[in-house]
Structure 1
């Protein structure tokens, strides 16, 4: 296995909100990054997100303009998976769909060297099942970044059935070099965060839909009553209502009715109101 001390170039599969955020985190930590997506406009959008995020760090004087430029310069965009062939560690951050992830991991298995760790940013799907698409299940691990990846300190490391101990150690070390604080979870549905978080969000949505309180009072009450930075409706908008629905449906299938997604969440997703990323969810955004 390629160890932590051998990692110079990190591959990121996916240039969306999470993928571009992970690419920014790795490049900020000094790694060269190859960020891959399936179409050039998606790569361009990923770079736009990185540059917009870095500009906020510059405004807050947490980075200089030259340092922000250097971060961008360390990221290479591509639509060709073969360009990840020389990467020393690869993190997949594609859509939360098992078939898609297994296809990507099978392709990565054929593309990168046999000693390279393949990590997935999945928030709910089985690491073991994803790993079964490869000939290196012992080198597959979950690295669940919190959203937004450049701002959130926490990172959930998920251990699959066949994940090797040295892969876990290497991944902890890499995450810490990214400036993250890690915790471990076994490969069970939802891991730590979403197993507990999704029922909280879903019950907030149900309570709002049933008229327990206005959306503002629902969020304000939970912020003040539990000392969290966002209430359930605001947080759902921030995560993406489609992401919340996908996670809830996966957990519902695995763990039963206590994870059943609320009707109002489904209705909003069907309407295309997905939260901040579309400008409208439970709230409206500029």
Structure 2
């Protein structure tokens, strides 16, 4: 099943830009919508810089080609004609609800709407939509260009045909889909956060250094990156938000450690701020 010729992405931050990158290199025309002209211009630069890195590694095409296939805008009225729109705004329930409502209102009735949420219930988000049967989760992983996994999250109201369609689209992007029924944290976030929170508690308790804890998982269990380095890459604020969501739904085993809260309050968010469990100033 081929990809839609036009795809929309709502939100042009790190994740949204990566998602736009993936669809561009797969041959889709992509429209990225941001909140204002400055954010829209930054999103275009972010996407094209990411494309440049892929071109330098041997990807087909040219910057001029992808620049011509990329459109940026400041309003969801730019989405008509898109067969798929992926919402990729920050992981905040109310922000996502508002963004999804705006996107849906601008889409044609035959379009599919997806959320890149990593932890918020697809069913909860679907309740706010007029066409929940055409809504599901497409959870991409950071960094999107390098990651080979996409979690397809199917809600109770999702029409089964769109589960199959989403799997085919992910495969057409050169990535591997896994299908998860809507549940707190889905599969990846729930498992990833559980490991990360325990690693943070070990640092908090002085059990071992972040580097040694990560080495235990990298060398002992062949994880490509340890839980603390991964937390830095994902963002400590993102990890905290997911942990709070899971704590509310699943209980105290997902209670965020005091160390995580303190680091977020201090602005030690990981790679994006230059410092988390590791120093990233040279990255």
With the shorter chain as reference, the TM-score category is over 0.9
Q: 194, 199, 204: which is aligned to 1:199?
A: 194
Structure 1 vs Structure 2 CA RMSD: 1.4
Per the TM alignment, residue 236 of structure 1 is displaced from its structure 2 partner at its CA by 0.4
Per the TM alignment, residue 145 of structure 1 is displaced from its structure 2 partner at its CA by 0.5
TM superposition score normalised by structure 1:
0.94
Please tell me whether residue 51 in structure 1 is matched to residue 81 in structure 2.
no
- Structure 1 residue ranges (4+ consecutive) displaced by more than 4 angstroms after TM superposition: none
Q: 2:94 maps to what in 1?
A: 99
Q: 1:219 maps to what in 2?
A: 214
Greater CA drift, 227-236 or 102-111 = 102-111
Q: Give distance in 2, aligned partners of 1:232 and 1:33.
A: 33
Q: Give distance in 1, aligned partners of 2:192 and 2:272.
A: 20
Unaligned runs of 5+ in 2: none
Instruction: Give CA deviations for 1:120-141 in whole Å, capped at 9, x if unaligned.
Output: 0000111111111111010001
Per the TM alignment, residue 6 of structure 1 is displaced from its structure 2 partner at its CA by 7.7
Conserved? CA contact 1:25–1:178, under 8 Å: yes
Q: 269, 273, 281: which is aligned to 1:278?
A: 273
> Secondary structure in 1 aligned to 2:136?
strand
Q: Give distance in 2, aligned partners of 1:132 and 1:28.
A: 33
Q: Give distance in 2, aligned partners of 1:245 and 1:148.
A: 19
Q: 2:59 maps to what in 1?
A: 63
Conserved? CA contact 1:126–1:189, under 8 Å: yes
Q: Give distance in 1, aligned partners of 2:189 and 2:2.
A: 32
Q: Give distance in 2, aligned partners of 1:108 and 1:56.
A: 30
- Equivalences, count: 281
Unaligned runs of 5+ in 1: none
